[in-house]
Amino acid sequence: MVPLPNNDIDTDQIIPARYLKVTDKNGLGAACFSDWRYNSDGSPKPEFPLNQPQYQGAAVLIGGHNFGCGSSREHAPWALVGAGFKAVVSTYFADIFNGNALKNGLLPIVVDAETHQQLISLSSEDPNAEVSVNLEDQTLTLPDGRAVKFPVDPFSRYCLLNGVDQLGFLFGLDSTINQYEQANPARVMTSA
Shortest distance, CB of residue 57 to another protein, whole angstroms? Answer: 26
Within 89-128, which residues bind another protein (CB under 8 A)?
92-96, 99-100, 103-104
Residues 6 or more apart whose Cβ sits within 8 Å of residue 130: 1, 143
In the list 30, 147, 161, 173, the residue contacting another protein (rule: CB under 8 A) is 173
Residue 43 contacts another protein per CB under 8 A? no
Q: Is 42 exposed, middle or buried (0-12, 13-18, 19+ CB in 10 A)?
A: exposed
In the list 1, 2, 13, 162, the residue contacting another protein (rule: CB under 8 A) is 13
Within 153-172, which residues bind another protein (CB under 8 A)?
153-155, 158, 166-167, 169-171
The nearer residue to another protein, 132 or 166, going by C-beta atoms, is 166
Residue 40 contacts another protein per CB under 8 A? yes
If you count them, how many residues does the chain have?
192
Residue 18 contacts another protein per CB under 8 A? yes
Site string for another protein, 54-93 (x = CB under 8 A): ----------xxx--xxxxxx-----------------xx
User: Is residue 131 within 8 Å of residue 143, measured between CB atoms?
Assistant: yes
Please, how many CA atoms are within 13 Å of residue 52, restricted to the half-sphere of its CB? 14
Shortest distance, CB of residue 94 to another protein, whole angstroms? Answer: 6
Nearest-angstrom CA–CA distance, 191 and 128: 58
Rg (C-alpha) for the chain, rounded Å, is 19
> Helix (H, G, I), strand (E, B), or coil: what is residue 56?
coil
* Strands 107-110, 87-90: pairing kind: parallel
Residue 191 contacts another protein per CB under 8 A? yes
Residues 6 or more apart whose Cβ sits within 8 Å of residue 174: none
Neighbours of 179 (CB within 10 A): 11
Binding residues vs another protein (CB under 8 A): 5-8, 10, 12-13, 16-18, 20-25, 35, 40, 64-66, 69-74, 92-96, 99-100, 103-104, 153-155, 158, 166-167, 169-171, 173-174, 176-177, 180-181, 184, 186-192
